[in-house]
Amino acid sequence: MPASILTLPDPRLRLHSAAVTRFDQALRDRLDALERAMRIGPGGVGIAAPQLGMLERMVIVDCRLGRRPCRNHGLLRLINPEIERGEGQVLGREGCLSVPDWVGMVPRAPQIAVRYQDERGQWQRLESTGFEARVIQHEVDHLDGILFIDRVVSVHDLTRRVPQG
């Protein structure tokens, strides 16, 4: 497994990921690797397996790590996630570890319902709102080879991120 996060123009970021079917220690090890990569990345509040070259349907989300205060579920390990419902649409600024130095305005549902499997393979559901809902949708897009730049409303909304510090 690659130790670093894949970035554009790596073609693997555009591939569809396969469903996870084995729920064992090897899966938990891959989830741990994903979480470590997310925590090392600058400002990372979510990561999807394809960003590490693993074409499997799993994402990690933890909005407690972000700069924006957000009421959320804490650390989420979502396997085979499916967004069952999204209500409304609002524009919000997004960036991505796989598209470094760029941000853009992307429309997303501010409220979603998600069905997913946990690490034991049991199906779960959760409702999410606000920033956490945005992050989940962003990461689930990765599983289908979609990047935030594909959803930017206008090329005029895509800008270089200003370095901080």
Residue 30 is predicted with a pLDDT of 97
Residue 72's pLDDT is what? 77
Q: Is the pLDDT assigned to residue 70 strictly greater than 50?
A: yes
pTM for the predicted model, two decimal places: 0.90
pLDDT tens by residue, 114-135: 999 999 999 999 999 999 999 9
Mean pLDDT of 143-165: 76
Q: What is the mean pLDDT of residues 19-36?
A: 97
Reply yes or no on whether 87 is catalytic.
Answer: no
Active-site residue identified among 56, 94, 132, 139: 139
pLDDT for res 44: 79
Q: Which residue has the higher pLDDT, 159 or 60?
A: 60
pLDDT mean across residues, the chain: 89
Sign of CA dihedral 67, 69, 70, 75: positive
**9 exposure class (CB count in 10 Å sphere: 0-12, 13-18, 19+):** exposed
For position 1, what pLDDT does the model report? 38
